[in-house]
Amino acid sequence: MELTLFLKGIIIGFVMAVPVGPIGIMCIRKTLTEGQLRGLIIGLGAATADLLYSCVAAFGFTAISSVITTERVWIRLIGGTLLLFLGLRTFRAKPADPKTNAHTSGILGSYLYTVFLTLTNPLTIFVFIAVFASLGLENEVKIFSGSVLVTGVFIGSCSWFVFLSAGVTLFRKKLNMDGLQWVNRIAGILIIISGAVAIASLL
């Protein structure tokens, strides 16, 4: 039973992470411009947020769910604004030389920022609730079974970002400085569009 839940959790986490939204774009851009470690940190932050939301969905934290539901407009507004700011900063960023080793400073900040940014999409929790309900988990689950499930979600989400960053790394050293500048510009534009869409969805 627990093994089945664990495997289902891995599949759910992987599938939930696959759509390349702003976090995926950040992972690709960081991997290309600063190395695979930076891309993995972004993925770890996103997976941590998925873990937190899946815990709320699996264990039925009604108080947290209620706050998220009630304040979802403000949460999305903050998230959209952060994406606009991040997109502009990314567009204007100067690329680092891909042939040098990435600096390790600011890793914790990148991780925490990604966790927070991912959590500003409250739609995620409703998707987890719907998916878990389809597995017959619409009621609160036992602590051990739920822990096995959400651990699988975390591992599945991390697995996608490991796969993504590893694939992108193959192209990293083939890019020159001009190519990396275009990576920043394209990523910045896509993130700005994501932020604009998030804010427009509130109208």
In whole angstroms, what is the distance from residue 80 CA to residue 109 CA?
19
In whole angstroms, what is the distance from residue 152 CA to residue 93 CA?
36
Residues 118/50, Cβ–Cβ less than 8 Å: yes
**Percent of the chain surpassing pLDDT 70:** 83
* Kind plus residue range of the DSSP H or E element containing 100: none
Listed residue (23, 19, 8) closest to 54, CA to CA? 8
Residue type, position 93, single letter: A
Tokens of 24: 């995926």
Give the pLDDT mean for 24-50: 90
CA distances 58 to 13, 72, 85, Å, are: 13, 20, 33
**CB neighbour burial string for 153-177, b if at least 16 within 10 angstroms, e if fewer:** bbbbbbbbbbebbeebeeebeebee
In whole angstroms, what is the distance from residue 101 CA to residue 199 CA?
37
Give residue limits of the domains in the chain. 2-200
Tens-digit pLDDT profile for residues 94-133:
766 555 555 555 788 889 989 998 888 777 777 887 777 7
Q: What is the pLDDT of residue 199?
A: 81
Question: Given pLDDT bands bounded at 50, 70 and 90, which one contains residue 85?
Answer: confident
In the predicted structure, residue 167 carries a pLDDT above the cut 80: yes
In whole angstroms, what is the distance from residue 111 CA to residue 93 CA?
19
In this prediction the pTM is: 0.78
Q: Please, what is the Cα angle at 156 between 168 and 145, to 5 degrees?
A: 170
